[in-house]
Amino acid sequence: MATTGGEPTDAQIRDFLTQEYSRISSDWYADVGDYTPALLEIKFEDCAAGYSQNRNVLQLCISEGNREDFECIFGGQKALGYRLGWYVSQRELVHEMLHEYQYKMVGAPTDEGIALFAKHKRRFPDPGHDATWFTAIALRASYFDVTADQLISEL
Ligand SMILES: [Zn+2]
């Protein structure tokens, strides 16, 4: 677990999350001619991650307690107990990217999205987690080589 030592800086964390966003979104929207990436707003405080459809802004919050995760990420470690090995910030990034995908790419929910919503809605009581969000999950799970149910358990 060799790291450069010391706590990761704001700039290192920002760069990592920006690169991850850019890598995944350029794959997801490769065939979309008029795709405008969201503006990534990374705050170093205890706030709530979210995607604003109106502003096309994806907000991520790095609390003091989550900073040390980046030492592990930069050292090549995976989060224990998670199939995909993602730490909180990585899970939140993909969760919010699925909201972006939901609003930009999913028109009507698919049968699979409707079924996933019925099965998992209790875990996600906040607004926005409707059958179209679960449709986005159903459409993108294979990108991470997992099933939709497996991806949901990481979010
Ligand atoms: Zn959400």
pLDDT, tens digit (0-9, with 9 covering 90-100), for 17-26? 999 999 999 9
Q: pLDDT: is 40 or 7 the higher one?
A: 40
What is the average per-residue pLDDT within 89-105? 98
C-alpha 45/C-alpha 73 separation (Å) is 19
Q: How far is the CA of 129 from the centre of ligand 1 (A)?
A: 6
Say if residue 82's pLDDT is above 50: yes
What pTM value is reported for the model? 0.94
Q: pLDDT: is 127 or 132 the higher one?
A: 132
* CB proximity list for 118: less than 8 A, separation 6 or greater: none
Q: How far is the CA of 94 from the centre of ligand 1 (A)?
A: 10
Query: In this structure, which amino acid lies at residue 103?
Result: Y
C-alpha 138/C-alpha 121 separation (Å) is 14
Provide, rounded to the nearest whole percent, the portion of the chain with pLDDT above 70: 97
Q: How far is the CA of 33 from the centre of ligand 1 (A)?
A: 26
Q: How far is the CA of 4 from the centre of ligand 1 (A)?
A: 34
Say if residue 42's pLDDT is above 70: yes
Q: How far is the CA of 95 from the centre of ligand 1 (A)?
A: 6
- What pLDDT does residue 3 have? 47
- What pLDDT does residue 4 have? 53
Q: How far is the CA of 124 from the centre of ligand 1 (A)?
A: 7
Of 34, 36, 37, the C-alpha closest to 20 is: 37
Which helix (DSSP H) or strand (DSSP E) does residue 105 occupy?
helix 88-105
